[in-house]
Each structure stands twice: as C-alpha cells, then as structure tokens.
Amino acid sequence: MSVLPQITAAIGEKYVLTGGDTADYVTDWTGAYSGQPLAVLRPADTAQVAAVLKIANENGTPVVPVSGHTGLTGATLGTDALILSLDRLSQITKIDPKGRTATVGAGVILSTLHDAVDAHDLIFPLTFGARGSAMIGGVLSTNAGGSNVVRYGNTRDLCLGVEVVMADGRIMNLMSALHKDNSGLNLRQLVIGAEGTLGIITAAVMKLWPKPRAYGTAMVAVPSLDDALDLLNIVQDETGGAVEAFEYMPRNYIDRHMALVKGATAPFAESYDINILLEVGATAEHDAAPTLTGEIPIISKMEAILGNMLENGKVIDAVIAQNEAQRRTMWERREQAGEIVFQGGPFVNTDVAVPIDKVGAFEAAVTPRLKAIDPDARELIVAHLGDGNIHHTTYTKHNDPSIHDAMTAAVEDVVQELGGSFSAEHGIGLSKLETMRRRKDPVALDAMRAIKAALDPKGILNPGKVIPD
C-alpha cells in the first residue's frame, strides 16, 4: 500500500479508488473470477499511465490493465494488484476521412467509434455483442474477432499504429498511419493480443472502411455444413468478396434462444438443423442504388443465388431481410449468444478455431468424446463459420473440476487433430493457462517467456496471465 500516496500525488485522490469503491472491479463479467485489488486507478492520459507504471515498477507492485471489463477469460482479475482502468482515455483525437483512419484513446468505447465515423460515411468494422461497453484498449489487447472477420480481419488487421507504456513507465510511440513500415521488428503486432503483459496500450491508429450503401441480409437453412460452404463461396464469387458475415446457429442454439430470450422469434416457419446468418455489404452504387422498380441490386443478386440453390437442393429455406428492423432482428438472434450461453448450470465453455471446412468434422468428433465423460452432457454451438471460429459449450450436472478438465481436454484433442487452435478470439487470460501449457509448442512458450522477461523484468504487468510459468 506504500505506493498509493505516490500514485495519488500523480493522478489525484479522486481517481484512486479503494475499499468499497472498487466493487465494480472485484468480479469479472462472467462471475467466474473475483478478487480484491489493492486499488483501482483511473489515470487521465498517457503521461499519468506512465507515472503510475514508473512508481509500480520501482516498488515491484503488480498492475492489471482494464478497459471495458467484458472479457471472458479472467484476464482482468486483479487480486492484491493495482487495477489500472483506461476508461478516462476516451478521446477520439482525429478522424481522417481521406486517409481513412481514426486516432483514438484506449478508453474509447467501440460503439462510440462506430457512431463517430458513421458521420463521415465510414465504418470501423469490428463488431460483436459487447460493442456498447468494450473499449479499444481491450479489443487490441485481446486481438478481438467478432462477426465481420470474414471480410475485414481480426483487430490486429485493423490497426496501423499504437502508443504503449512499457513496464518501467517509458512511452513507446508507434503511432503511425503507415500501411507499409519495414523498419525492423513489428512491435505493434507484438503488443496486440498480449493482454497487457508486455505493455499497456494507451492509444491507437485504426483503419476505417467505406460504409456499405446497402446490405443484403438473410437467414438461410441448408442440408449440411458442406452446402453452407458452397453457399459462402458462391456468394463471395458473385459479389466480389463482399460477404461481411457468415454465422452458424444450429437447431439447439435456436431452440435455446427461443426459450430464454423474451420476445424472441423463430428464423423460419419450420425448424432446421443448420441455420446461417448471411450478410453482404455493397459499397458500389451500381450494387446499392434502387432500380426504377425499387429493387436493390445486391438483394436481387442474393435472391437469384438463393433461388438457384433452392432449386438444386443446396438450400432448404431462406428469408431475406426487407428492412432494417428485420435485419436487426436477425442480428440480435446471433448477438444474444452471451446472454443465453451463460445460463443453465455448470458448463465448460471453449473458443476454438479449425479450418473452415473442418467445422462439421469437429462436431462429429467431439460429441462422442464428451458423452463418454458424461452421458447426460448437452452441447451448444454457435460459430463464425466464415472464419472457422467455434464457440462450443458443454452443459453438465457435475461441478467436479476433474470432469470439466476432462471435457476441456476432449475438445482440445479434437481441435489439435484437425489442425486448429484452442484460442480463437477471446484470448488466454487465466482460463486457458493450463491449455497453453499442454498444447502450445514448448519452444514458442520459451520464446514468449524470454520476451516477457526482457520487456517486464520485474513481472509487474498482468502477472500470471497468458504465459504459463
């Protein structure tokens, strides 16, 4: 606690929270992790972040950075540590419509950035259910994915430059808007996805994209996941790669959504095993401008593609949104996944990735292995099918950690056999440390440890996260 008087002098007493004032930071969003921090600090700018880290480093006091506090892996647990909130670094410093970039603080809320660039007919394409609370610092630190990766890539693909405060309080200025910079090691990419273990991101230069003039959005039922990939490839070919999202919701997800979300509606008159949310974004006027008959060309193109596939049996049913309200209903069905997954008793939640043509193989292989552990286990899947990211949840009546570990290992085994990754878009934090130890290449782990030791020799930055001892 001896560091607090120095930190209070640096950032102001009002912004050093202790005792009951830290309640909002004691437990993470999932409720799975809780611990009492030494204090919660809310610095106003990069200089104050640097002052805090300099003091903490000199005293060997651990620091855990927090942005929107919406993570799912326990990465913001700060027991007996200083929790450093970046929420006051919330300035959008510059929007450059011609260069199509936005310079933002780490505390800018994702939906706030969406609204700000919309005024310039641009988009920052990263989007997911927690966009109303997630902040830029957090999405960079976890390399967040979301629903539009199939077209725009992960967060690291959307960032041109960063400002980072190192463990000793020095400020590393990588705030470039360059699309090409071959001047040595790519330190920007090193800190993105590091979850605050190598430095604390305080600002960034983010890429912007032209705002689609029209969307074609549909719910599509298909006989198999192979047929779904045929649909994806055909639409990509016919639209010049304009698919924005390709989301997979199987029957049990739809049933659970209907049961748990008040006012939820079914996507079709009948119930199907494989349901796809497909969205295409048209930026060219010839695809988006209404014809003399009032038709939107991109929607007409989707209707033609889906019609042909209905005739040849590759599509069973399809509903195309005719207005923004119908589009939002389709998206709400997908974005309420967090709300419905975290209900229903003990569960094992995984966030994995396999090659996009192996999602069906994953489903077929994982079920019997889980049933061998618990015959009464129930599964729930929702997936970003366009990039192979599967959110798999197993519900069990058992609270036995050994059973949960066995289920996690079973999922990991299947993923490894299919050439996949045990972590797709949620990061590592605490929840995947043992998986990192079991599954990550040992030489890669040694390299990570060496980098951590070089950049944070006292180990104060988010200790115990991401890299297993």
pLDDT, tens only, 197-244: 999 999 999 999 999 999 999 999 999 999 999 999 999 999 999 999
Q: Which residues, at least 6 apart from 439, have a Cβ–Cβ distance to it below 8 Å?
A: 412, 416, 422
Domain contains 463: no
Cβ–Cβ under 8 Å, residues 245 and 279: yes
pLDDT over 90 at 400, yes or no: yes
- Which is higher by pLDDT, 339 or 106? 106
Residue 87 has pLDDT above 70, yes or no: yes
- The CATH code of the domain that includes 369 is 3.30.70.2740
Q: What is the mean pLDDT of residues 10-21?
A: 96
User: What is the C-alpha to C-alpha distance for residues 104 and 108, in angstroms, rounded to an integer?
Assistant: 7
One domain, residues 220 and 244: yes
Cα–Cα distance, 132 to 162 (Å, whole number): 22
Would residue 447 count as lying in a domain?
no
Which residues does 15 contact at the CB level (< 8 Å), separation at least 6? 41, 42, 43, 44, 88
Residues 6+ apart with CB under 8 A from 60: 458, 460
**Residue 325 banded pLDDT, cuts 50, 70, 90:** very high
User: Could you give the CA distance from residue 392 to residue 422 in angstroms, rounded to a whole number?
Assistant: 11
Q: Where are the beta strands (DSSP E) in 125-242?
A: 159-165, 171-174, 200-207, 209-210, 214-221
Q: Based on the domain organization, do 244 and 204 belong to the same domain?
A: no
> Nearest Cα to 163, choosing from 103, 84, 90?
103
* Mean model confidence pLDDT for the chain: 95
Is residue 354 domain-shared with residue 332, that is, in the same domain? no
In this predicted structure, the answer to whether residue 33 has a pLDDT above a threshold of 90 is no
Decide if 431 is inside a domain: no
Does residue 322 carry a pLDDT above 80? yes
Q: 300 and 370 in one domain?
A: no
C-alpha to C-alpha distance for 102 and 45, rounded to whole angstroms: 18
pLDDT tens digits, 423-432: 999 999 999 9
Q: Does 299 reside within a domain? A: yes
Does 339 or 181 have the greater pLDDT score? 181
97 and 191 assigned to the same domain: yes
Q: How far is CA 446 from CA 103, 435, 437, 443, in A?
A: 35, 15, 11, 5
| φ, ψ (nearest 5 deg) of residue 198 | -115, -15
Residues listed for the chain: 469
Q: How far is CA 77 from each of CA 140, 167, 342, rounded to the nearest angstrom? A: 18, 18, 19
Q: Is 366 helix (H, G, I), strand (E, B) or coil?
A: helix
Kindly give, in sequence order, each residue whose CB lies less than 8 Å from that of residue 363, ignoring residues fewer than 6 positions away: 225, 381
Q: Which of 210, 230, 261 is the last residue of a domain?
A: 210
| Domain endpoint, select from 315, 337, 359 | 337
Residues 229 and 325 in one domain: yes
306 and 274 part of one domain: yes
Confidence (pTM):
0.93
What is the pLDDT, as a whole number, of residue 1? 55
Query: Within this chain, do residues 71 and 125 fall inside the same structural domain, yes or no?
Result: no
| 78 in the same domain as 101 | no
- Domain hosting 240: range is 214-337
pLDDT at position 83: 97
Helix axes 225-239, 297-311, angle to 10 degrees: 140
Answer yes or no: is pLDDT of 414 > 70: yes
For residue 189, being part of any structural domain is answered with yes
What does the pLDDT read at residue 433? 94
Lowest-pLDDT range of 30-34, 67-71, 230-234: 30-34
Domain assignment present for 287: yes
Q: Which carries the bigger pLDDT value, residue 341 or residue 112?
A: 112
Assess whether 152 and 53 both reside in one domain.
no
Greater pLDDT, 32 or 331: 331
Q: Is residue 50 part of a domain?
A: yes
pLDDT confidence of residue 31? 81
- How confident is the model at residue 331, as a pLDDT? 96
Q: Identify the CA nearest to 225 among candidates 356, 350, 320, 412.
A: 356
Above 90 in pLDDT, residue 345?
A: no
Is 322 contained in some domain?
yes
Q: How many domains does the chain have?
A: 4
Residues 229 and 140 in one domain: no
Q: Tell the residue number behind the tokens 């994702």, with chain if given.
A: 110
177-182, Cβ contacts within 8 angstroms, sequence gap of 24 or more: 177/96, 177/99, 177/101, 177/205
- The enclosing domain of 31 has a CATH number of 3.30.43.10
Note the pLDDT tens digit of each residue in 429-464.
Answer: 999 999 999 999 999 999 999 999 999 999 999 999
Where is the domain boundary, 182, 210, 238? 210
> In the prediction, which pLDDT does 28 show?
84
Match 């706030």 to its residue by tokens.
Answer: 112
3-state secondary structure of 364: helix
pLDDT of residue 30: 79
- Sheet arrangement for strand 389-395: 317-320, 214-221, 274-282, 243-250, 378-384, 389-395, 347-353
Name the nearest CA neighbour of 335 among 127, 80, 140, 134.
127
Token code pair at residue 382: 């929702």
Q: Give the pLDDT band of residue 129 (cuts 50, 70, 90).
A: confident
Q: Are residues 295 and 219 in the same domain?
A: yes
Largest CA distance in the chain: 73
**How much is the average pLDDT of 6-11?**
97
Domain harbouring 269, CATH code: 3.30.70.2190
Q: Is the pLDDT reported for residue 156 higher than 80? A: yes
